[in-house]
């Protein structure tokens, strides 16, 4: 890991990756039972050892092409400092109503405290109140934390700490805020959407809904995880930070069902300068969901109007993208593969992307469009270096029998920190 401070800089979805933030799934994933699957927001219980093996393929690829920062080690850096430690623990205990555990947490060694904040803290059953609560954990495990995309977003030189839709994930945002501000690893400004919000506030956003298409184009999904109020919050903050020139925000409405549509990046991701992956029924076919183009000029919102579709408005803005269809031509395959994160791609360079190997019809469509299919392990071993580092587009595939059960793909599991300009 680079020791000097990294300047956060992300102006696209596909620029060559310099640095990325990851969190390996650990004991928190296994600290789950059928009773709390719904609380964890999963569709099923994961086999941790298999999930970790699959994740190591993602980690192995990214560690060959970029600097990898890890949440746990950065969190330990935060907890080694008295004031940031106190601020974070007080914030967590107050929000999660566990102030009786404050002193116990404060007295832990930093590594142990980081583990507890991620993997969970068993409750003390020493009062009638605690007994009748019938809760095993005082602090619940962060089951979803390996999806590092959601809790914070890097846009330009700013880190936006998200106010997430489900209270079970709030601690992820608090940890990310502390990491960006106090780990000593990053140089950036920080906006925390959780500050000054009441419990009933409808200001909600998650990183899976936020795509940095270009320096002047932000695409945001409006669905169950990102509200209109959350989008207005982002627009208000970013119009003030970009006081000159023109900035475009494109909002794509999303269905509330099925649960595989939770984020925009589950139906639309960028692959190359001129290619994108789409879930056809929602992105390229006529449907009831609006696309809205918001224009910010010299720090003021000057236009909010409906447009004929996401790809259409991007084309008018100079991004002429060829859509590659998740699942191929068959509607049944489209739905099945979208469910298993078939549209959720992460680009580590233009035309160099990562996905699950299980979505074979999607990979066939990519192959038809000139992408070479490469197993992640072949690249990690060095056997496919010439292909991946060459000029032709390629897809690196990771095994995905367990990781998709958590409800996300390669983009969900990666938080880019720095990309080269296009």
Q: How many helices (H) and strands (E) are present in the chain, helices listed first?
A: 16, 22
Q: Of residues 299 and 42, which shows the higher confidence score?
A: 299
Q: Which domains does the chain have, with CATH numbers?
A: 6-419 (3.75.10.10)
Name beta bridge partners: 248.
217, 295
- What's residue 260's pLDDT? 75
Share of the chain above pLDDT 90, in %: 84
Q: Model pTM?
A: 0.94
Which residues have CB under 8 Å from 334's CB, separation 6+?
279, 280, 281, 325, 326, 327, 328
For 20, phi then psi, to 5°, come to -145, 150
- What's residue 1's pLDDT? 44
- CA count, 13 A, side-chain hemisphere, 185: 25
Kindly report, residue by residue over 231-262, the tens digit of the pLDDT: 999 999 888 877 788 999 999 999 988 777 89
Confidence grade of residue 2 (pLDDT, cut at 50, 70, 90): very low
Kindly report, residue by residue over 116-165, the tens digit of the pLDDT: 999 999 999 888 887 887 888 999 999 899 999 999 999 999 999 999 99
């Amino acid at each position: 890991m680079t020791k000097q401070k990294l300047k956060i800089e992300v102006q696209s979805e596909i620029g060559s990756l310099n640095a990325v933030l990851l969190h390996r799934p650990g004991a928190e994933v296994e600290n789950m039972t059928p009773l709390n699957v719904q609380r964890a927001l999963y569709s099923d219980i994961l086999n941790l050892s298999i999930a970790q093996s699959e994740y190591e393929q993602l980690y192995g690829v990214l560690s060959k092409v970029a600097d990898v920062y890890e949440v746990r080690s950065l969190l330990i850096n935060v907890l080694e400092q008295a004031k940031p430690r106190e601020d974070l623990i007080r914030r967590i205990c107050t929000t999660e109503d566990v102030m009786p555990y404050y002193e116990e947490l404060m007295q832990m060694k930093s590594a142990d405290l980081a583990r507890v904040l991620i993997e969970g803290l068993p409750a003390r059953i020493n009062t009638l109140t605690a007994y009748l609560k019938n809760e095993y954990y005082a602090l619940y495990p962060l089951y979803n934390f390996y999806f590092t995309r959601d809790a914070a977003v890097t846009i330009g030189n700013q880190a936006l700490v998200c106010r997430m839709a489900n209270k079970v994930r709030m601690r992820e945002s608090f940890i990310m805020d502390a990491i960006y501000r106090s780990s000593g690893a990053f140089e950036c400004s920080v906006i925390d959407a959780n500050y000054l919000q009441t419990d009933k506030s409808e200001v909600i956003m998650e990183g899976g809904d936020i795509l940095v298409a270009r320096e002047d184009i932000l695409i945001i999904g409006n669905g169950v995880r990102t509200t209109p109020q959350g989008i207005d919050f982002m627009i208000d903050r970013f119009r003030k930070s970009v006081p000159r020139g023109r900035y475009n925000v494109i909002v794509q409405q999303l269905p509330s069902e099925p649960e595989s549509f939770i984020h925009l990046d589950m139906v639309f991701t960028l692959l190359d300068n001129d290619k994108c992956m789409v879930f056809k029924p929602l992105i390229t076919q006529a449907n009831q969901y609006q696309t809205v183009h918001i224009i910010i000029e010299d720090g003021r919102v000057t236009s909010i109007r409906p447009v004929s579709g996401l790809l259409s408005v991007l084309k008018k803005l100079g991004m002429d993208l060829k859509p590659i269809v998740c699942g191929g031509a068959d509607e049944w395959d489209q739905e099945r593969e979208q469910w298993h994160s078939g549209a959720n791609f992460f680009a580590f360079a233009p035309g160099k992307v990562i996905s699950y190997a299980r979505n074979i019809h999607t990979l066939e469509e990519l192959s038809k469009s000139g992408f070479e299919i490469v197993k992640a392990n072949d690249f990690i071993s060095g056997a496919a270096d010439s292909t991946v580092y060459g000029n032709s587009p390629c897809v690196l595939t990771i095994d995905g029998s367990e990781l998709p059960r958590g409800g996300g793909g390669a983009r969900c599991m990666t938080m880019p920190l720095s990309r080269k300009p296009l």
